[in-house]
Chain A
Amino acid sequence: MAPRSRMILGRMAQAIPVVMGVVVISFLLTRALPGDPAAYFAGPAADEASIAQIREELGLDKPLFQQFIYYVSDLSRGDLGTSLTTGQSVLSDLAARLPASLELTLAALLLSCAIAIPLGVLAATRPGTWVDHLCRVLVTAGVSMPTFFTGILLIYVFYYLAGVAPSPLGRLDFIYLSPPHVTGFYLIDAALAGDWETWGGALKQLVLPATTLALFTLAPIARMTRAAMLSALSSDFIRTARAAGLTNRKVLYGYAFRNALLPVVTTLGMVFSFTLGANVLVERVFAWPGIGSYAVEALVVSDYAAVQGFVLAMALLFVALNLVIDIAYALIDPRIGLK
Chain B
Amino acid sequence: MTETSRRSFLKLTGGTMGAAMLPFLKSMPAHAATGGTIVVVSGQTINSLDLHRTGTNRASYQVAVNCYDRLVSFGTKEAPGGGFSYDYSVIEPELAESWTISEDGLTMTFKIKPDATFWDGRKVTAADVKWSYDRAVSAGGFPTVQMKAGGLERPDQFEAVDDETFVIKLDKPSKLTLPDLAVPVPFIINAEVAKANATADDPWAMEYLHTTPAGSGAFKITRWEQGQQLVYERNDAWVGGPLPSFERVIVREVPSPATRRALIERGDVQMSFNIPNKDAAELDAMDGVDVYSTPIENCIHCLCPNFSFEPFQDANVRKALAYAIPYEDIFQTAAYGRGAPMWGGEAEITDIAWPRKSPYMTDMAKAKEHMAASGFASGFEVPISISLGLADWMEPTALLLQEAFAELGIKTEIEKIPGANWRTAALVEKRLPLHLENFGGWLNTPDYYFFWAYKNGHLFNSSNYLNEEIEQLVDSTLHIPMDDPAYEPNIKRMFEIAFEDLPRIPLWQPALNVAMNGASGYEFWFHRQLDVRPLTTATT
Interface bits A170-183 vs B (CB < 8 Å: 1, else 0): 11011111100000
Of A87, A171, A287, which contacts B254 at CB under 8 A? A287
Asked whether, in the complex, the Cβ of A53 is within 8 Å of the Cβ of B45, the reply is no
Is B77 close to A, CB under 8 A? no
Is B268 close to A, CB under 8 A? yes
Kindly specify which of B82-90, B136-144, B391-399, B473-481 makes contact with the partner chain.
B136-144
Interface bits A92-103 vs B (CB < 8 Å: 1, else 0): 010011000000
Q: Which residues of A contact B423 (CB under 8 A)?
A: 39-40, 44
Of B20, B253, B254, B424, which contacts A197 at CB under 8 A? B20
Q: In the bound complex, how far is the Cα of B433 from the Cα of A8, in angstroms?
A: 60
Q: In the bound complex, how far is the Cα of B113 from the Cα of A195, in angstroms?
A: 47
Cβ of A282 to closest chain B Cβ, rounded Å? 10
Q: Which residues of B contact A45 (CB under 8 A)?
A: 142, 145-146, 452, 459
Q: In the bound complex, how far is the Cα of B55 from the Cα of A253, in angstroms?
A: 58
Asked whether, in the complex, the Cβ of A170 is within 8 Å of the Cβ of B228, the reply is yes
Q: In the bound complex, how far is the Cα of B258 from the Cα of A50, in angstroms?
A: 38
Interface bits A5-20 vs B (CB < 8 Å: 1, else 0): 0000000000000000
Q: Which residues of A contact B7 (CB under 8 A)?
A: 177
Q: Which residues of B contact A294 (CB under 8 A)?
A: 227
Kindly specify which of B151-159, B259-267, B345-353, B525-533 makes contact with the partner chain.
B259-267
Asked whether, in the complex, the Cβ of B6 is within 8 Å of the Cβ of A177, the reply is yes
Q: Which residues of B contact A338 (CB under 8 A)?
A: none
Asked whether, in the complex, the Cβ of B263 is within 8 Å of the Cβ of A85, the reply is no
Q: Which residues of A contact B20 (CB under 8 A)?
A: 197
Of A85, A156, A286, which contacts B45 at CB under 8 A? A85
Q: In the bound complex, how far is the Cα of B225 from the Cα of A212, in angstroms?
A: 25
Of B142, B256, B389, which contacts A50 at CB under 8 A? B142
Q: In the bound complex, how far is the Cα of B154 from the Cα of A219, in angstroms?
A: 65
Of A36, A41, A169, A174, which contacts B55 at CB under 8 A? A41
Kindly specify which of B174-182, B331-339, B414-422, B502-510 makes contact with the partner chain.
B414-422
Asked whether, in the complex, the Cβ of B140 is within 8 Å of the Cβ of A53, the reply is yes
Asked whether, in the complex, the Cβ of B421 is within 8 Å of the Cβ of A34, the reply is yes
Residue of A nearest to B7 (CB): A177
Q: Which residues of B contact A163 (CB under 8 A)?
A: 266
Residue of A nearest to B423 (CB): A39
Is B472 close to A, CB under 8 A? no
Q: Chain A: interface secondary structure?
A: loop
Q: In the bound complex, how far is the Cα of B266 from the Cα of A283, in angstroms?
A: 21
Asked whether, in the complex, the Cβ of B420 is within 8 Å of the Cβ of A301, the reply is yes
Kindly specify which of B46-54, B93-101, B187-195, B319-327 makes contact with the partner chain.
B46-54
Asked whether, in the complex, the Cβ of B255 is within 8 Å of the Cβ of A293, the reply is yes
Is B301 close to A, CB under 8 A? no
Residue of A nearest to B419 (CB): A300
Is B56 close to A, CB under 8 A? yes
Q: In the bound complex, how far is the Cα of B39 from the Cα of A300, in angstroms?
A: 29
Residue of A nearest to B255 (CB): A284
Cβ of B298 to closest chain A Cβ, rounded Å? 13
Of A167, A178, A301, which contacts B268 at CB under 8 A? A167
Given A41-B54, A87-B47, A285-B256: A50 and B226 interface contact (C-beta under 8 Å): no
Given A41-B54, A45-B145, A54-B141: A174 and B459 interface contact (C-beta under 8 Å): no
Q: Which residues of A contact B144 (CB under 8 A)?
A: 50
Cβ of B282 to closest chain A Cβ, rounded Å? 14
Asked whether, in the complex, the Cβ of B141 is within 8 Å of the Cβ of A156, the reply is no
Is B24 close to A, CB under 8 A? yes
Residue of B nearest to A37 (CB): B420
Residue of B nearest to A293 (CB): B255
Q: Which residues of A contact B365 (CB under 8 A)?
A: none
Q: Which residues of B contact A334 (CB under 8 A)?
A: none
Is B285 close to A, CB under 8 A? no
Given A46-B142, A53-B140: A285 and B259 interface contact (C-beta under 8 Å): yes
Q: Which residues of B contact A42 (CB under 8 A)?
A: 54, 141-142
Asked whether, in the complex, the Cβ of A39 is within 8 Å of the Cβ of B424, the reply is yes
Interface bits B128-171 vs A (CB < 8 Å: 1, else 0): 00000000000011101110000000000000000000000000
Of B142, B268, B418, which contacts A35 at CB under 8 A? B418
Is B33 close to A, CB under 8 A? no
Residue of B nearest to A36 (CB): B424
Is B486 close to A, CB under 8 A? no
Residue of B nearest to A88 (CB): B226
Is A236 close to B, CB under 8 A? no
Cβ of B227 to closest chain A Cβ, rounded Å? 5
Asked whether, in the complex, the Cβ of B259 is within 8 Å of the Cβ of A297, the reply is no
Cβ of B263 to closest chain A Cβ, rounded Å? 6
Interface residues in A, total, Cβ within 8 A: 61
Q: Which residues of A contact B70 (CB under 8 A)?
A: none
Of A51, A97, A285, A302, which contacts B227 at CB under 8 A? A97
Of A35, A177, A297, which contacts B421 at CB under 8 A? A35
Is B10 close to A, CB under 8 A? yes
Asked whether, in the complex, the Cβ of B256 is within 8 Å of the Cβ of A87, the reply is no
Q: Which residues of B contact A148 (CB under 8 A)?
A: 256
Of A155, A174, A200, which contacts B262 at CB under 8 A? A155
Of B53, B140, B141, B265, which contacts A87 at CB under 8 A? B53
Is B76 close to A, CB under 8 A? no
Interface bits A26-59 vs B (CB < 8 Å: 1, else 0): 0000000111110111111111001101100100
Is A257 close to B, CB under 8 A? no
Given A39-B423, A97-B227: A285 and B54 interface contact (C-beta under 8 Å): no
Cβ of A173 to closest chain B Cβ, rounded Å? 7
Q: Which residues of B contact A195 (CB under 8 A)?
A: 3
Residue of B nearest to A54 (CB): B54
Given A87-B48, A159-B262, A287-B259: A170 and B418 interface contact (C-beta under 8 Å): no
Is B200 close to A, CB under 8 A? no
Is B11 close to A, CB under 8 A? yes
Cβ of B246 to closest chain A Cβ, rounded Å? 14
Query: Of residues 261 to 307 in A, which have CB atoms within 8 Å of B's CB atoms?
Result: 283-287, 289, 293-294, 297, 300-302
Q: Which residues of B contact A237 (CB under 8 A)?
A: none
Q: Which residues of A contact B266 (CB under 8 A)?
A: 159-160, 163, 167
Asked whether, in the complex, the Cβ of A40 is within 8 Å of the Cβ of B420, the reply is yes
Query: Of residues 157 to 171 in A, which have CB atoms within 8 Å of B's CB atoms?
Result: 159-160, 163, 167-171
Asked whether, in the complex, the Cβ of A152 is within 8 Å of the Cβ of B258, the reply is yes
Q: In the bound complex, how far is the Cα of B17 from the Cα of A197, in angstroms?
A: 13
Residue of B nearest to A180 (CB): B1
Q: Which residues of B contact A36 (CB under 8 A)?
A: 420-421, 424
Is B431 close to A, CB under 8 A? no
Q: Which residues of A contact B258 (CB under 8 A)?
A: 152, 155, 285
Given A34-B420, A53-B141, A177-B7: A86 and B227 interface contact (C-beta under 8 Å): yes
Q: In the bound complex, how far is the Cα of B47 from the Cα of A97, in angstroms?
A: 15
Q: In the bound complex, how far is the Cα of B418 from the Cα of A163, in angstroms?
A: 39
A–B complex contacts, Cβ < 8 Å, 25 sampled: A34-B421, A42-B141, A44-B142, A45-B459, A50-B141, A51-B428, A57-B54, A85-B47, A86-B45, A87-B55, A96-B227, A97-B227, A160-B262, A160-B265, A169-B41, A169-B252, A170-B252, A170-B253, A197-B20, A286-B256, A287-B252, A287-B253, A287-B255, A287-B259, A302-B420
Q: Give me the interface of A with B, judged by CB distance under 8 Å.
A: 33-37, 39-47, 50-51, 53-54, 57, 84-88, 93, 96-97, 148, 152, 155-156, 159-160, 163, 167-171, 173-178, 193, 195, 197, 200, 283-287, 289, 293-294, 297, 300-302
Beyond the given pairs A41-B54, A85-B57, 5 more chain A to chain B contacts, judged by CB atoms under 8 angstroms and listed by A's residue number, are A54-B54, A54-B55, A85-B45, A152-B259, A300-B389
Q: Which 8 A-B pairs have the closest CB atoms?
A: A35-B420, A43-B142, A175-B24, A87-B47, A287-B254, A87-B48, A41-B55, A284-B255
